[in-house]
Structure 1
Amino acid sequence: MRRTKKFASLLLALIMVFSLGITAFAEENTHTYEIYQIFTGDYSDGILSNVKWGKNGTGIPGDAVDSSILEKLEAVAGSASDTAQLAVINKYAKLSTAPYTSGTATSYENLPNGYYLVKDQDGTQNTENGFYTLYVVKVVNGTLEFEPKGDVPEAEKKIVEGANKVDVNEASIGDTVNYEITGTLPTNFDDYNTYYYVFTDTLSKGLTYKNDVKVTVGGVDVTKYFYVNAADYSATDGTTIKVGIQDIKALNLLAGVTVTKDSKIVVTYSATLNENAVIAGEGNPNDVKLTYSNDPNNSGTGATTSPGENPDEPSTDHPTGETPKDQVVTYTTELTILKKNDEGKVLPGAEFTLTGDSVNIVLVTAEKFTVDDKGEYWKLKDGTYTTTAPTIGGETDNSEDYANTATKYSKTVEITAKGTGKDETSVVGVVDEGGHVTFTGLGVGTYTITETKTPAGYNTIAPITFTLTFDAGTKAFASNNTAVAVGADNKLDTTIVNEKGATLPETGGMGTTIFYVIGSVLVLGAAVLLIVKRRMRAERQ
C-alpha cells in the first residue's frame, strides 16, 4: 500500500508538472493524436491503486507493475524539466505498438482508468509551421482532456532604410539595398536537447548579394559560428543564401552568449540592384524561410562542447518544420522619350541627357529596324513601326498610313549600361530610328531632361524637370510634372515635339545688293537726263 500511495502521489505530481506552462495552439487544429495506455488501475480521489501494465506498456498487459519501476518514476517527479521526466517515463511506454486510440480531438471519454501518454502521430507535422507537441502524460478517470504543448519560431524580413524598416521600397540600378532578418525561438525551447536553426534566403536575379552576412544573438556577434554557403552570388537566375547552425543551444557554451526562448537571432546583409532588375511590374522580391527543429521528443542528446568556427553545412536526422516565406520587394522604373516633329513624324538622331540625384547605372535602350522578309513590323508614314499588317482594299483599307505596304522589318533592341554606379549625375541617350530612347533603372529623385543634340532645322527644347516619388502602400511611382507622366504600367513616358526654325530677315545678302545696283543705275540715269535737258535749253537760247 505504501508503494501504491507513493505512485499515486507521483502521478498527481506529474499531472501538475505537465499542466503548467502549456501553450495551446491555434483554433484550427492540424494535429492527429495517438493515445497510449501505459498503466491501468483503480482510481479514487486522484489516487491510482492496484497499478498494472496497460496495452502500450513495456510489461505484460494485466501484470502488476514492479515496485522498482515505481521508485524510478518517483525519483524523477521533482525534475526541473518536462523533458527529463519524459526521458524516464518513455522507457515504460511501448510506442511501437498500435495506440489505444487516436483522433484529432483533445478530449476522450469512456477510457479505462489508468495512466496515458499522448503524442502526435509520426510524420503528420512535416508541414509549413508544423510542430510536434511534447508528450503529455495524464492520470485518467474515464475522461482524458489535454492541451497540447508546443510552439513554432518565426522569421521576419525587412528592408532597412535609415531608421525605418519596411516591406517595400524603391531603388535605382546600382543602389545598395540593406536587409535584416529577425528569427525567434519557440516558447518551449527548453524542452529541446538540441535545436536545428537554418535560414534560407532567396534573392531574385535583379539583386546581387554583397557577401557581407552578419549574425548576432542578443547583440553579440556570432557570425563565425554560423554556416554561410559559398554559392555563386552573381547567378543570373537568382541567388540562394543559407545561414544556419546545427545546434543553436550549443551557443550557450560560449562565454558571453546566452540563448533562451526570448532570444532574437538577427541576420543582416546587403545587395545591389543590378542590370537584370525587373522594371516596375512585380518588382524584385527577396524572401526568407526558417527551417527549425519541431519535435522536442526527438531532438538528440545535447551539446557538451561549444560550436566550432566556420562550420560545415548543418544537417539533422531529427524532425524539422519550416516557417512560411516572408517577402520584401524593391521596385525601380524607367523613362521613355518619344521624339516627334510638329507634323507628328518621328525624329531619330536627337540626343538627350538625363541628369538627376538618383542616376547611378542607367540602361539606355534603342531599337533598330532592318528590312526582313520574315519580319513582323511595318513602317508607318510618321516614321514609327507597327506589328499590325496593312489592309489593302475594301472598307477597312488603311494602306495610306503605311510608308510601304510590301516591306517588312525585324526589330533588334540594343541595351547599353551607362554610368559607373558611383555618384553618377547624368547619362546620355540617342533617339533610335523609331523615335524612342529609354532610360531604365530610375528610383525616386529630381531629374532634368536636356536636349543636347537637336536635328538640323529644328529648335532645341527647353529643359524639362520633374520629381519622381514612390508610394510604398500602393507600390506606385508618381511624377509632379504632367509633361512626364506615369502610366498604368508604372513607367514614365513623355513625348517631346521639335518645331522647325522660322525664316527670318537677313542683311548682307544678294537681294540687298541687287537693290543697291538698281538704285545706282536709276540715280545715274537721272543725272544724265538732267545734263541733256540743260544742254537742250542752252541751245534754244
Structure 2
Amino acid sequence: MNDLLNKQIAAILYSGYPIDSYKKINELGININQAIRQTQNALWAVIAGDFELTNVNRGEGAYYDFLIKQAQNDLIQNTAINKLNVYYYNHKLKDKFDINRQDLIRATLKSNEDQENTKNGSITVKNENATFNGYKILDATQSGDAFIYTPTKDFENFFNNDQYGNYDVAKIKDLTSDETKIFAAELHKYVIDQNINNVINIDGNVKTTVDLGYYLVLETTEASQGAAVVSTAMLTPVPKKENDNWQYDVILVPKDSSPTLEKKIVIDNQKTDTSTANIGDIIKYEVNATIPTYEPNAQNIVYKFNDTMSKGLTYDEESGFIITSGDKTFIKGQDYTITQTKSENGETNIEVSFKYESIKAYSTLPITLKYQAILNENAIVNPEITDGNTNKVTLTYTNNPDLESNYKVLEDKVTTYTWGFGVKKVDSENISIDLAGAAFSVRDKNGNVIGKYTYDSTGNVVLLKGKGVTDKNGRVIFTGLKEGDYFIKEEKAPKGYSLLKEPVKVTITAQKDDNGEYTGQATISVTNGNEAGSIINNITMNDGNVLFNVQIKNYAGISLPGTGGIGTDGFIKIGLVLLGVVIILGAGYVVLDKRKRI
C-alpha cells in the first residue's frame, strides 16, 4: 500500500488556502514540496501513513477547521478508468461538522508527472520570427471540474469600468467572436494607458511556462523581413478546455495580417509585367492589394499608394483612378485623396491616401486601382541606360499601431519598352554623299502613319510636327515604336532623285524571357519588295545609337524623256538609290538580314 501511495500520491483535497504549519509532515520526513501544493481552489496534502495534520489556523484563511485521518481501507484503485480514487473519512469530523462523507473529500489522482504538470501550464505562440508579451488578466481557481476567475491586481480596475467597455468577469464567456475582439482591444488599450509592465516574455515557437489563469498575449516585434502587420491581441485561458478535456499546454496561432501588392499592365484583358508601345499609345495599369486587419480601436492607421511614372509616361488625369473592392466603388475626397507632384527629373508622383475607416470593412477582399498613362516623346529607347519606361508603385501601411511612425513598404513595378530606327539616303554611286531633303514616314501594316520623330542634341526624342525629314547629313529618325512590322515609305526624294518604288519592311521582334516577359532587347530585320542587300557595315555606337548599313538596289524609279525631252544626258540622276544607314536606337539590339545575324 505504501509503495502505491509513494507512486500515486494519495491526497487530501482541502477547499481553502494553504495551511500554515506542516509540523507533523516534517516529523514524518515527508518532502514539503511533494507533500503540499495549492492548485486553483484546492490544497493537496500528501499522507504517507496514519497521522494527523496539526496546528491548522482558521484565521489564516482555512475555510474548514478540521483534521482528516487517513482510512486505508477507503483507498480504492479503479483500474477501469486508470485513475486512483481516494476517500478520507473521519467519524469525529463528520459528527462535529455534519459533513457528508462524499461531500467531505473526493480526489481523483494522476501520476506524479501529471501532478507536477497541473501546477501550471504553458503558452506556445506559433511564430518563430516574433516575440510576445503575456499579461495575466484573471487568476484561475479550480472548483470541481471548472475554474473560477477573479481579476489580478493589475487588471482589477479594468472591469466594470465605463472607460474600457464596462466588462463583467462573469459575462466574458458569453461574448461573441466580434465582441471578444473588441474586449481584447480594450484590454490592450488598458495595458498601454496604465503602462503595465508585469509581463511574461514569450518567444515565438517556444513553450513558455505560466501560472494557471486567463491571459492577454500581445506581439511586440515582428521579423525584419516580410510584410506581416503585428497580430491583433490574443486571449486564452490556461488551461483551455478542448473536447471535454483540460489542455494545460496551450498553443496560439496568431492571425498575422500580411498585405500583398501586385501591379500589372493590362492588354486586351491580359495582365503582364512588361509591354511594348508606340509613343502616343495609352497604357492601362491595374494594382491589386490587400488591406491589413488591426484591432477595432486602432488609431492613426496609414494606408497609401505612391505611384511613380518615369519621364516617358504622362498620367491620364482625365480618366483618373477607379478604385473598387468587391461591389464597392470608393469615392475620391470621401474615401481617399489624391496628390500629384512633378520631380526635377521629370517623373510624375501620385499619392493615393485612404481613410482607414472607409476601407477596414474590406480586409477580406482585394482592393483594386485602375488608371492609365500615355507614352510620350520623352520615352526611353535604350534599355541599357534606364531599363525601359518604368511605372513603380509602393504601398505604405502601419505595421504596429502601438509605435509611432512604424510602417512597412511594399513595392512593385511594370515596364514599357519602345524602339526606333533611323534612315539615311545616299547616292547609289557614291555612298559618302548624303542626300538631305528626303522625307520618310513610318506606317504600320495597315498603312496608318505611326509617327515621325527625331532626336535633339541631347539625345532625347522630339516629336516632329510634320513628316520626318532628313537633317543636313541626310538622316531621319523614327522612334517610339512597339514590337511589330513597319514600312518605311519615302514621301519625298532629294532633288534629282526618284522615290523608292516599294516601301522597306522593318520588323521589330522583342525578346522575351522564360516567363514570357519582355527583356528590353530586340532583333530587327529589314526586307522589301526588291532584292535586299546584305548588311555592309559592322554595328557601331554613336550617342547611344546602333548603326548598320543595308544596301538596297532600286532600278524602278528611272524616268525616260518624252518627245522633245532632254535626251539621254538629261535623265534624272537616280542610278542606284541606297537606303543607306538604318539606325537602331538602343544598345541592346541585334540586327538581322536574310543571311546574317550580328
Q: Which TM-score applies when normalising by structure 1?
A: 0.60
- Which residue pairs with 1:355 in the alignment? 442
Q: 1:351 to 1:365 in 2, by over 3 A?
A: farther
What letter corresponds to residue 323 of structure 2 in structure 1?
A: V
Counterpart for residue 215 of structure 2: 116
SS, match of residue 489 in structure 2: strand
Residue type at the aligned position of 1:227: Y
Amino acid at match of 1:450: K
Report the 3-state secondary structure (helix = DSSP H, G, I; strand = E; otherwise coil) of the residue aligned with 2:171: helix
Residue 455 of structure 1: CA displacement?
5.2
Find the aligned partners of 1:44 and 1:488 in 2 and give their Cα distance: 91
Residue of structure 1 in register with 2:397 after alignment: 292
State the Cα distance separating 1:167 from its structure 2 match. Answer: 1.5
Matching residue of 2:48: none
In structure 2, distance between residues paired with 1:414 and 1:103:
59
Contact 1:23 1:150 (8 Å CA) reproduced: no
Alpha-carbon contact 2:309-2:391 (below 8 Å) kept: yes
Tell me how far apart the structure 1 counterparts of residues 499 and 219 of structure 2 sit (CA, whole Å).
77
Shift of 1:75: 1.7
Deviation at 1:284, TM superposition (A): 0.9
Q: Which has the higher contact order (CA 8 A, sep 6+)?
A: 1
Q: Which among 419, 426, 448 is matched to residue 487 of structure 2?
A: 448
Aligned counterpart, 1:418: 464
Superposition map of 1:452-491 within 5 A = 452-454=491-493, 461-462=500-501, 463-470=503-510, 471=512, 473-475=517-519, 476-481=521-526
Indicate the residue corresponding to 1:438 in structure 2: 477
Q: Summarize the Cα distance change of 1:160–1:233 in structure 2 as closer, same or farther, 3 Å threshold.
A: farther
> What SS does the aligned partner of 1:231 have?
strand
Q: Distance in 2 between matches of 1:163 and 1:71?
A: 53
- Look up the match of 2:174: 78
Match of 2:412 in 1: 326
Does residue 329 of structure 2 align to residue 221 of structure 1? yes
Question: Does the 8 A contact of 1:348 with 1:431 survive in 2?
Answer: no
Aligned letter for 1:447? Y
* Residue identity in the other structure for 1:417: L
Partner deviation per Cα, 1:64-105 (whole Å, 9 max, x = no partner):
x99999982232332222322214544775773446443542
Query: After superposition, what is the alpha-carbon deviation per residue over 1:276-333, rounded to whole angstroms, capped at 9, x for unaligned?
Result: 21114011111222233445x76xxxxxxxxxxxxxxxxxx97664342121111111
Mapped to 1, the partners of 2:236 and 2:416 lie a distance apart of 52
Please give the residue correspondences for 1:172-321 in structure 2 after superposition, counting only pairs within 5 Å: 172-186=278-292, 188=293, 196-211=302-317, 212-224=320-332, 225-232=334-341, 237-247=346-356, 249-250=357-358, 259-281=361-383, 282-295=387-400, 321=407
1:96 aligns to 2:195 (yes or no): yes
Deviation at 1:209, TM superposition (A): 0.7
Distance 2:185 2:559 in 1: 102
* 1:171 and 2:277 correspond: yes
Cα distance in 1 for partners of 2:449, 2:435 equals: 24
- In 2, the alpha carbon distance for the partners of 1:338 and 1:286 equals 34
CA displacement 1:186-211 (0-9 Å, x = unmatched): 4x568566765322211111111111
Q: Distance in 1 between matches of 2:355 and 2:213?
A: 40
- Structure 2, unaligned runs of 5 or more: 1-14, 17-39, 42-123, 240-247, 569-598
**Which secondary structure state, in structure 2, belongs to the residue aligned with residue 86 of structure 1?**
helix
Distance 2:381 2:354 in 1: 36
Match of 1:495 in 2: 549
Secondary structure in 1 matching 2:130: coil
Alpha-carbon deviations, 1:484-506, whole Å to 9, x = none?
Answer: 99989998855244789999999
The answer to which structure has the higher strand fraction is 2
Q: d(CA) in 2 for partners of 1:35 and 1:267?
A: 40
Output the amino acid matched with 2:455.
T
Matches of 2:295 and 2:135 in 1, distance apart? Answer: 24
1:242-290 alpha-carbon deviations (Å, 9 max, x no partner):
223222x4469xxxxxx43333322221111112211140111112222
What is the aligned partner in structure 2 of residue 376 from structure 1?
none
- State the alpha-carbon separation in 2 of the partners of residues 260 and 414 from structure 1: 45
Q: Distance in 1 between matches of 2:381 and 2:470?
A: 21
Partner of 2:340, secondary structure, is coil
- SS of the residue corresponding to residue 74 of structure 1 reads helix
Q: Quick one: which of 229, 234, 247 aligns to 1:136?
A: 234
Matching residue within 455, 458, 471 for 1:365: 455
User: Which residue pairs with 2:86 in the alignment?
Assistant: none
SS at match of 1:446: strand
Alpha-carbon distance in structure 1 between the residues aligned to 2:412 and 2:145: 48
Structure 1 segments unaligned to the other structure (5+ residues): 6-21, 253-258, 299-316, 368-411, 420-425, 513-541
Residues 131-176 of structure 1, C-alpha deviation per residue, up to 9 Å, x if partnerless? 1111223334675642222212222222122222222111111111
Instruction: Determine the C-alpha separation between the residues in 2 that align with 1:459 and 1:118.
Output: 86
TM-score for both structures, normalised by structure 2: 0.55
Distance 1:173 1:66 in 2: 67
Q: Aligned partners of 2:522, 2:369: CA distance in 1, in Å? A: 30
Aligned to 1:337: 423
Report the AA paired with residue 335 of structure 2: F
**Displacement after TM superposition at 1:129 (Å):** 1.7
Distance 1:190 1:78, change over 3 A: farther
Would the alpha carbon gap of residues 86 and 440 (structure 1) be closer, same or farther in structure 2, given more than 3 Å must change? same
Deviation, 1:414, is 8.6
Distance 1:24 1:153, change over 3 A: farther
Deviation readout 1:436-489 (Å, 9 max, x if unpaired): 432121123432223445556767544312333445524343445367999899
User: Whole-Å Cα distance in 2 between the matches of residues 487 and 183 of structure 1?
Assistant: 45
**Is the 1:347–1:455 Cα contact (8 Å) retained in structure 2?**
no
1:106 corresponds to:
205
1:511 to 1:284, Cα distance in 2 relative to 1, 3 A: closer
2:258 pairs with 135, 138, 152, which one?
152
Question: Which residue type is aligned with residue 275 of structure 1?
Answer: E
Deviations 1:40-75 (A, max 9, x none): 556799855686737xx3469xxxx99999982232
CA contact (8 A) 1:349 1:432 kept: yes
- Contact 1:461 1:498 (C-alpha < 8 Å) held by counterparts: no
Cα distance in 2 for residues equivalent to 1:66 and 1:292:
33
| Percent identity over paired residues | 24
Between the aligned partners of 1:274 and 1:241, the Cα distance in structure 2 is 18
Task: Quote the residue 1:18 is aligned against.
Answer: none
- Structure 1 residues 105 and 461: CA distance shift in structure 2, 3 A: same
CA distance in structure 1 between the partners assigned to 2:272 and 2:443 by the alignment: 25
Aligned partner letter, 2:175: S
Q: Which amino acid aligns with 1:267?
A: L
Q: 1:206 to 1:44 in 2, by over 3 A?
A: farther
